[in-house]
């Protein structure tokens, strides 16, 4: 069997309202899918992390750089393909967009492998440690409005996410230390005293301000403080972890096993958050997961993207070993963006219906079909493709 085609599909649509995080506001939703076709007509699907113009740049890397390297190769030679592509791009990008592009290609190859074997990806990895997972509802995005208005909105939004049946919720911060405390207090009011909530700063702070916000999050009983400082500031992560009681999480902006080795050896994370659609795909994710567990660091996958990303992560969460082993191990949760996302809700021929599952049972079932277990609708791709 040979690879005969590698194509990118960049999808984009207007959002119903402007949303943001600590770095920017955005008004369009994007997704970047990778389609790999074999000479026997089988198709594998993957996804590359990266919004807007980054997705368009990654499309050029996938089709103009990676595709010529792998056309004619056996799609089952995933590790051979991974190292060939990485080694030939190493001088030009050990991190960032080249790795995001390789991620989408690698996920598509795993999807193909599952379809060839007639098995879901979690079976190819080694089996399912769980057949369903809990999920936390991601919401409370920043808006271009006053802190007081946002705080009032956050109270209601946090309460609504709790009422949907999610096991926890996560908010955005990054407005400035004092404003962020006001917003975090609003979320705590919305969910009540005992419901877990997390705060994501998207590396908005220097260490001193991160300590200020982190101490407030401690008082509010937050479960984790995500990306408090820049991903390059490994010393800052270590200082925050040593000086705060709230869990410090991060890693979505790190790539491959070599980058993750530095983070984990630095001992700056309580919870690791690898992004499979960015760090190098499933092939490299499995190495990063093994590194994290070798450093006794639990993993909560970062999930942001289309239904392809969600399905891929469900396969990985199924196959994640319990840590530590025993009757009551630390269990991963699925990250679920509760804001409107057409490329998650409309993309598939058979939707995952995450919110419906959570409302009915409080859990999300692992797809059991071959590969990543889902198939996109070509009409939806044609409708939104840039």
Catalogue the active-site residues: 302
Q: Name every residue whose Cβ is closer than 8 Å to that of residue 222 and which is 6 or more positions away in sequence.
A: 184, 197, 198, 199, 246
Helix (H, G, I), strand (E, B) or coil at 291: helix
Residue 166, number of CB atoms within 10 A of its CB: 28
Q: What residues does 334 pair with on adjacent strands?
A: 135
Residue 332 phi/psi, 5-degree rounding, is -75, 155
Please state, in angstroms and rounded to a whole number, the distance separating the CA atoms of residues 347 and 199.
29
Residues 6+ apart with CB under 8 A from 261: 291
DSSP 8-54: EEEEEEEEEEEEEETTEEEEEEEEEEEEEEETTS-EEEEEE---HHH
Q: What are the angstrom distances between the C-alpha of 360 and each of 15, 159, 175, 354?
A: 28, 18, 35, 10
Report DSSP state, residue 254: -
- The tokens of 161 are what? 């996410």
* Cβ(126)–Cβ(319) below 8 Å: yes
Question: Per the structure block, which two tokens stand in for 306?
Answer: 């289309």
Exposure string over 248-279, b if 16+ CB within 10 A, otherwise e = bbbbbbbbbbebbbebbeeebbbbbbbbbbbb
- The residue to which tokens 């399905």 are assigned: 311
């Amino acid at each position: 069997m040979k690879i005969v085609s590698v194509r990118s599909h960049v999808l984009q649509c207007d959002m119903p309202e402007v949303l943001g995080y600590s770095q920017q506001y955005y008004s369009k939703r994007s997704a970047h899918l990778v389609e790999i076709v074999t000479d026997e007509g089988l198709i594998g699907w993957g996804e590359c992390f990266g919004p807007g113009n980054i997705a368009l740049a990654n499309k050029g890397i996938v089709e103009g750089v990676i595709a010529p390297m792998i056309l004619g190769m056996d799609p089952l030679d995933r590790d051979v393909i991974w190292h060939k592509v990485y080694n030939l791009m190493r001088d030009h990008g050990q991190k960032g967009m080249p790795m995001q592009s390789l991620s989408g290609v690698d996920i598509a190859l795993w999807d193909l492998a599952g379809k060839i074997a007639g098995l879901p990806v979690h079976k190819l990895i080694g089996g399912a440690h769980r057949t369903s997972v809990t999920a936390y509802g991601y919401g409370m995005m920043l808006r271009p409005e006053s802190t007081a208005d946002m705080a009032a909105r956050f109270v209601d939004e946090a309460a609504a996410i709790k009422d949907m049946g999610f096991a926890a919720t996560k908010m955005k911060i990054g407005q400035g230390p004092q404003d962020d405390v006001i917003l975090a207090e609003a979320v705590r009011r919305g969910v009540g005293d005992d419901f877990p909530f997390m705060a994501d700063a998207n590396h908005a702070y220097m260490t001193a301000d991160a300590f200020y916000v982190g101490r407030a999050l401690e008082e509010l009983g937050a479960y984790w403080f995500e990306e408090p400082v820049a991903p390059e500031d490994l010393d800052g992560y270590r200082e925050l972890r040593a000086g705060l009681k709230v869990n410090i999480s991060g890693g979505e902006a790190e790539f491959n096993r070599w980058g993750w080795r530095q983070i984990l050896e630095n001992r700056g994370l309580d919870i690791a958050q690898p992004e499979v659609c960015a760090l190098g795909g499933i092939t490299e994710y499995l190495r990063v997961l093994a590194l994290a567990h070798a450093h006794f660091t639990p993993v909560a996958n970062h999930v942001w993207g289309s239904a392809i990303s969600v399905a891929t992560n469900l396969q990985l969460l199924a196959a994640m070993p319990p840590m530590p082993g025993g009757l009551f191990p630390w269990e991963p949760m699925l990250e679920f963006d509760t804001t409107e996302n057409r490329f998650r809700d409309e993309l598939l021929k058979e939707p995952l219906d995450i919110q419906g599952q959570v409302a009915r049972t409080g859990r999300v079932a692992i797809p059991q079909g071959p590969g990543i277990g889902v198939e996109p609708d070509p009409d939806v791709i044609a409708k939104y493709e840039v």
